[in-house]
Each structure stands twice: as C-alpha cells, then as structure tokens.
C-alpha cells in the first residue's frame, strides 16, 4: 500500500507542494500526513534524542511551508529529506555551541552530574561521511547512486524502505547499491592510492 501510494503520489506530492506554495493549509496537512512518519523514523536513526527529532521534524515542515515555491519538481521525498537532514545538522551544531559555551558538565535535577559527552561512534562516522575522504568520494559518484547509498547505508533503510523513499523498484535499489559500492571504492582508491599498488 505505502509503496504504491508513494509511486502514485509523486505527481500528487508536486501538486500538493504547488498548493502549499499558494498558502493552502489543507494541502500542507496532507503533505505532513504522507511524509511525517517516514521522516520521523529516518531522523530517529540519526538522532537518539526524541525532543530534537520532534523539533527538527517541526522545523522541516515550517521550512516547507515557507519555501514550497522553491520546489523545482524533483522527487518530493528526497527534497523533504534534504531539508530535514540540514535542520538536523543545524540542531546538532546548536547543541555543540551551547555545550562549548557552557564548558561544564550537565547537572541533572537529582544533583548528579554528567560530563560533557564525547562524540558517539555514530557521530564520528557521520562526520566522516560528511567531511572526510568518504564524503569526498561520495560527492564524486553519480547522484542516483549516492542517494541509494545514503538511504541504505547511512540511514540504515531496508531495500523496501529505500525503494519507497526514492520512488524506484526494489531491484533497482539493489543494482544501484552494488554499482554505488564499486564506484565508491574506485573513488576512494583515487583519493588514497595504495602504497602497495605499484610494487607487484
């Protein structure tokens, strides 16, 4: 049902976004009903704090309301996720700024203290994907392959969930994921040639 709705709703989403751009609150409510569930699930995979996830989701749809006229006909799910991911990055940066300014451990209501948290392993991996060699290599592969990798590897979506999000068949997700991994390995090899490469 969901996958078919997503497929059939691609044109519907574009029409809804045009209506939202014209100030139609009912269209905004329909867009929210269609997409808030999977956006919430995807954000939760990247952020364990439910309050931050709720705020980011709200900020995402506020941004959609204000900038729906900027939608250029690309797949609505991808456009919404781009907005949500940026809002999540903004929220994390804001938290980091507050922690740096405070420079002190957090005090809980019971009087106990928690030291300022070091970045989690997941946060370090995600930072590497954004800013390190992997991020650079990701930028060098084709956009449709990059989106499949981000959906299946970074966000941990199943093949079915990724297919629904991206509006493509499951078989296409699998074949693009294989191609994407091969292209990513090649791009990483070009960035960091093996010192053993020329010694055979």
Question: What DSSP letter does each residue of 41-60 carry, written as one string?
Answer: HHHHHH---HHHHHHHHHHH
- DSSP character at residue 167: T
Phi, psi of 113 (to 5 degrees): -120, 150
pLDDT at 102: 59
Instruction: Identify the three-state secondary structure at position 150.
Output: helix
CA 19 to chain centre: 25
Residues of the chain with pLDDT under 50: 1-11, 106-110, 112-120, 122-123, 131, 198-200
Cα 89 to Cα 143: distance, rounded to the nearest angstrom: 20
Name residues whose C-beta falls within 8 Å of residue 90's C-beta, 6 or more positions apart in sequence.
59
pLDDT at 113: 46
Q: What is the pLDDT of residues 178-191, one digit of tens each?
A: 998 898 888 888 87
What are the beta bridge partners of residue 106? 114
pLDDT at 171: 94
Cα 92 to Cα 5: distance, rounded to the nearest angstrom: 33
pLDDT at 52: 92
Q: What is the pLDDT of residues 55-70, one digit of tens each?
A: 999 999 999 999 998 8
* pTM strictly above 0.85: no
Between the alpha carbon of residue 81 and those of residues 8, 13, 45, 192, the distances in Å are 19, 14, 13, 31
- DSSP character at residue 104: S
């Amino acid at each position: 049902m969901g996958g078919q709705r997503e497929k059939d709703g691609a044109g519907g989403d574009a029409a809804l976004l045009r209506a939202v751009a014209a100030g139609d609150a009912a269209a905004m409510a329909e867009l929210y009903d269609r997409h808030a569930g999977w956006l919430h699930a995807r954000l939760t995979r990247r952020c364990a704090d439910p309050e931050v996830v709720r705020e980011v989701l709200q900020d995402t749809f506020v941004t959609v309301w204000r900038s729906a006229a900027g939608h250029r006909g690309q797949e609505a799910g991808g456009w919404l996720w781009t907005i949500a991911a940026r809002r999540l990055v903004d929220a994390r940066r804001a938290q980091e700024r507050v922690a740096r300014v405070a420079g002190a451990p957090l005090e809980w209501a019971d009087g106990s203290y928690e030291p300022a948290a070091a970045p989690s392993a997941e946060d370090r991996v995600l930072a590497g994907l954004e800013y390190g060699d992997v991020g650079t290599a990701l930028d060098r592969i084709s956009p449709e392959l990059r989106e499949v990798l981000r959906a299946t590897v970074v966000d941990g979506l199943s093949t079915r969930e990724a297919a629904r999000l991206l509006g493509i068949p499951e078989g296409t997700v699998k074949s693009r994921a294989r191609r994407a991994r091969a292209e990513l390995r090649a791009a990483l090899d070009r960035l960091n040639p093996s010192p053993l490469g020329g010694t055979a």
